[in-house]
Amino acid sequence: MEAVVDLAHGRRGPQRLQPRSVGCNPPRLLPMRHDPPSDPTRALRIAVVTCDGPAVVAASAADLRRDQLQLAGDGILLALAQETPGSGELATAAVLALETRGSTGDEELADQLAAALGVGPTPLLRPLPVDLEMLTMALEGDLLNSGGRIDLRTGEVIVGSDHDWYAEGDGDDEADLGDPDVWLHVRSEGSRDGYHDMVAFLGTIADAELVERLERALRGKGAFRRFTDRLADVPGELERFQRYADDRQRGRARAWMAVHGYRPTRPTRP
């Protein structure tokens, strides 16, 4: 999400990044990402953003990766809603993989998939079309520029503090900021979980020398930049870490929504 995060942190105040809406977007509206053209994650990501069920099935059937189960699960949900051939088998495999992995947010996604398959109860969570990547920006960005609120009427995530909102003003919505039926406020939790992602990623690396270099990189300020710089020296490792971290962030955002009584949804057609 680098390009999106840079855009968000390049200005103060409430931010409405329209190209990151939760609707089905044509590929030209996708934000620039770190995925190289050959990265198999890119095909799945584009399929999910454009709500292309057959493309989701094609990408996931070829490789249901352990490090992108959250993204794949959201894609499989829309493929199921579109009654895409092969989506049922994929959903069953994804439920098993999520239950086996057991990371934050995996239980919530597995329950949603099981309900969509008709083999589990419907989660007692209200559906809301929230972009989980945008919610991650509000939850895990820097403390000065993150936090925000979710518009419960539309699912739109707005990044920025209430103070900035009042300072800029936004018409009639100002009077509604305290209305819990209109807004769900998001408190920034800072970068602590992002640091834990780097530490956890060390356990997936077999090269003991690389692990030692990365452990040194994690000491002191500027750890994220040093960590990713070291990974960039090893072909494929930076991309693997970014998939790993993206998936964990998506799971945390999903779990946060569940705590507040909601589950993320997407439209099934443009």
The span from the CA of 89 to the CA of 162, in Å, is 45
For the chain, give the DSSP string. -HHHHHHHHTS-S-B--GGG-SS---GGGSPP-S--TT-HHHHHHHHHHTT-HHHHHHHHHH---GGGHHHHHHHHHHHHHTT-TTHHHHHHHHHHHHHHH--TTHHHHHHHHHHHHTSSPPPS-EEE---HHHHHHHHHS-TTT--EEEETTT--EEES-HHHHHHH--GGGGGGTT-TTTEEEE---TTHHHHHHHHHHGGG---HHHHHHHHHHTSSTTHHHHHHHHHHTSTTHHHHHHHHHHHHHHHHHHHHHHHTTEEE---S--
- Bridge-based pairing state of the strands 157-159 and 126-128: unpaired
pTM score, whole prediction:
0.83
* DSSP label of 15: B
Burial environment of residue 182 by CB neighbours within 10 A (0 to 12, 13 to 18, 19 or more):
middle
Q: Give the pLDDT of residue 175.
A: 52
Beta bridge partners of 151: 183
pLDDT of residue 14: 46
pLDDT by residue, tens only, the chain of 270 residues: 333 333 233 333 444 443 344 556 544 444 444 444 456 688 899 999 999 999 999 999 877 889 999 999 999 999 999 999 999 999 999 999 999 999 999 999 999 999 999 999 999 999 999 999 999 999 997 777 778 999 999 999 999 865 555 555 554 455 577 788 899 999 998 889 999 999 999 999 999 999 999 999 999 999 999 999 999 999 999 999 999 999 999 999 999 999 999 999 975 443
Residue 138 has a pLDDT of 93
